Copies of this chain bind each other. A is one copy, B any other.
Amino acid sequence: MKYEAVTWRRDKVVMLDQRRLPTEEIYVKCDGPGEVAEAIRNMTIRGAPAIGVAAAMGIALGAMKLRVKSVGRFKEEFEGICRMMMETRPTAANLSWAVQRMETVVRGHEGEGLDELRRFLKSEAMAIREMDIEVNRRIGHNGKRYIRNGSAILTHCNAGALATAGYGTALGVIRAAHEEGKDLEVYACETRPRFQGARLTAWELDKEGIPVTLITDGMSGYLMSKGVIHMVIVGADRISANGDVANKIGTYSLAILAKAHGIPFYVAAPLSTFDLSLGTGDEIPIEERDSREVTHPFGTQIAPEGVRVWNPAFDVTPQQYVTAIITERGVAQEPFEASLRDLFS
């Protein structure tokens, strides 16, 4: 791979600007935590695991740049930075998971000086990044057995190297099967309103020589009815304790359609995507984004001035539509409550 969604270089957080793909590969350098937070908000970087990594790096960067003399003052400012990161986007569980890990570093090193705290925080951010790549490889390893030779796989949005520190969750499973020499092809839903399937997934798979065919979101049911699709696999932004899955808007429709056609529906996600404090998906906060994402794709007005718009960025797929959830520690299946309890114990 010749690209990285997010990395640390010379005390800057460097991100591939995903809003410009696939026509331009431009890296943006963030000098401080405010810029990182803004990059998460405006979706320069997106994908639950990737924004977790970016937030951790943004917090480490913030800790480095704080002009304070006392540890007490440092902790106050540090909490402010963590809060800012937490508030960038509401749905992804990985974001709060990463922020909590950074907070734990400070809490776990009472009595240390400023330099040490800064060093520990930077190390933790680096570790979160490295771990994410390793976790994705394990998800790929655990999931590749579900992809049979000659499979056609439908995916939604981008749950790939671009959505993580590298390798990907859903696309990581596909990658692992491909690396093993399996013959497969991918159908990518374009994923309105922001076209992550067209712009990112098609780009990522194309770069790797994995055959990909692009469809619009409305074509998925008809494609399934043709008997072309063997499985659906998607990533996740937050998963509740019972296995309900919040993921990019459109995922729920795909799950219903897959069930109606007898097609297995897999979710690939790291444990950091789970929020066991929530009993069901009903409790997952769903971000609503600006109506202009719908009415003005790439700045072109496609709807009457002032038309009312509903623009939830995610939806929730109840566990009964999920065949299995593939994690780095193993695969959870019906009954999900027990299965997930086992994975986490």
Asked if B256 contacts A260 (CB within 8 A), the reply is yes
Q: How many copies does the complex hold?
A: 2
- Complex alpha-carbon distance, A304 and B190, angstroms: 12
A252 proximal to B (CB < 8 A): yes
What per-residue 1/0 map shows which CB atoms of A277-312 lie under 8 Å from chain B? Answer: 000000000000000001101101111110111111
- Stretch of A28-36, A191-199, A263-271, A336-344 that contacts chain B: A191-199
For residue A297, which residues in chain B have a CB less than 8 angstroms away from its CB?
A: 297-298, 300
Assess whether A123 is interfacial by the CB under 8 Å rule.
no
Interface contact A203-B304, CB-CB below 8 Å: yes
For residue A185, give the distance in angstroms from its CB to the closest CB of chain B: 9
| Contact present for B215 and A310 (CB under 8 Å) | yes
Chain B residues near A199: list those with CB within 8 A: 302-303
Chain B residue at smallest Cβ distance from A309: B214
Is A310 a contact of B219 with CB atoms below 8 Å?
yes
B217 touches A217 (CB 8 A): yes
Please tell me if the beta carbons of A253 and B213 are within 8 angstroms of each other in the complex. Answer: no
Of A22, A206, A216, A301, the most chain B CB neighbours within 10 A belong to A216
How many residues of chain A get a CB closer than 8 Å to chain B's CBs? Answer: 55
In the complex the two chains form, is B219's CB within 8 Å of A307's CB?
no
Please measure, in the bound complex, the distance between the C-alpha atom of A222 and the C-alpha atom of B257, giving whole angstroms: 12
CA of A192 to CA of B199 in the docked complex: distance in angstroms? 16
Contact indicator A221/B23 (Cβ below 8 Å): no
Considering the chains assembled together, what is the distance between the CA atoms of A148 and B289 in angstroms?
31
Which DSSP category, helix, strand, loop or mixed, fits chain A's interface? mixed
For residue A157, which residue of chain B has the nearest CB? B218
Residue of B198, B218, B256 touching A250 (CB-CB under 8 A): B218
Residues from 233 to 257 in A contacting B, C-beta threshold 8 Å: 249-250, 252-253, 256-257
When C-beta atoms are compared, the residue in chain B nearest to A191 turns out to be B218
B221 & A253 in contact (Cβ 8 Å cutoff): yes
B residues within 8 A CB of A193? 216
- In the complex the two chains form, what is the Cα distance from A213 to B307 in whole Å? 7
- The answer, yes or no, to whether A189 is at the interface (CB within 8 Å) is yes
Other-chain contact of A307, B192, B206, B223, B300 (Cβ < 8 Å): B206
Bound-complex Cα distance A227 to B316 (A): 14
Measured CB to CB, the residues of A under 8 A from B are 22-23, 156, 187, 189-193, 195, 198-199, 202-203, 206, 211-223, 225, 249-250, 252-253, 256-257, 259-260, 294-295, 297-298, 300-305, 307-312, 315-316
What are 23 A-B residue pairs whose CB atoms fall within 8 Å in the complex? A156-B218, A191-B218, A192-B192, A192-B216, A192-B217, A198-B303, A202-B304, A206-B304, A206-B307, A213-B307, A214-B303, A214-B310, A216-B249, A216-B250, A217-B250, A218-B249, A219-B250, A219-B310, A225-B252, A225-B315, A256-B257, A259-B260, A300-B300
- Given contacts A214-B294, A217-B250, A256-B257, could you give 6 more A-B pairs where the C-beta distance is less than 8 Å? A190-B192, A202-B304, A213-B309, A214-B308, A218-B250, A219-B315
